[in-house]
Amino acid sequence: MIPPELVTEIVFVTASGALSPGPLTFSVIIGGKKRGWKFGAMAATGHMAFEFPLYMLLGIGAAWIFILLEVKTIISIIGGLVLLIYALLSILDVVKHKNETGTQTKALTSSGFVAGFMFTAFNPYFIIWWATAGLKLVTDIVAYGGIYYLPFAYSIHVWMDYVWLAFIAYLAYRGRKIGKRIMDLIQVFLAVVMIYYGAIFLYEGFMFFK
């Protein structure tokens, strides 16, 4: 049985990552306004599909793979491009004034699972978090009970992803009733935030070549 103090550490340390605003959160807000909490739940599943293998690899001592500068550079560049494309398609969708999301944006938001996986895998800050605060947490878990405790310890964390993403997707869905114009403004704002993240990611990636 995992001691209460370790459970507390898992909850509070992982909450710093799970509840932090970021590209995944913003994509869930955009997708959730059409599909509600189910989009958020599927995004959490996609997020978990990438996060859990990474978590297990960290647990068995493979952290060095993910802190190589070359790997971070590739993730930064790809992630930046994905965010910029997503932001552009979101803005184009608003400009067209369609009742439903346009076909281009729909390709990215029709699947919560894909959005969850994509905005996790191509978010360099997610990798950095697990290589720092997350790595310390994994080390504590392995030190207490070995790698066999890792899956159970992960279950103590992952529920927060599901609750948080489903909740914000539900709020976005309910927000549709305040008017399409306001929701369009919100979508443009989120797209601008995406552009900011995308530019930062690209800058950090291309700095490697200087």
pLDDT at 40 over 90: yes
pLDDT at 49 over 80: yes
pLDDT computed for residue 101 by the predictor: 44
Mean pLDDT across the stretch 149-178? 85
pLDDT computed for residue 129 by the predictor: 74
Mean pLDDT across the stretch 6-34? 78
Whole-number average pLDDT of the chain: 78
130/128 Cα distance (integer angstroms): 5
161 pLDDT tier (thresholds 50, 70, 90): very high
Taking only the tens place, the pLDDT of each residue in 128-144 is: 778 777 777 787 788 78
Number of domains in the chain: 1
pLDDT at 63 over 60: no
41 pLDDT tier (thresholds 50, 70, 90): very high
State which residues form the domain around 195.
Answer: 4-15+22-209
Q: Percentage of the chain with pLDDT > 70?
A: 78
pLDDT at 17 over 70: no
pLDDT computed for residue 108 by the predictor: 52
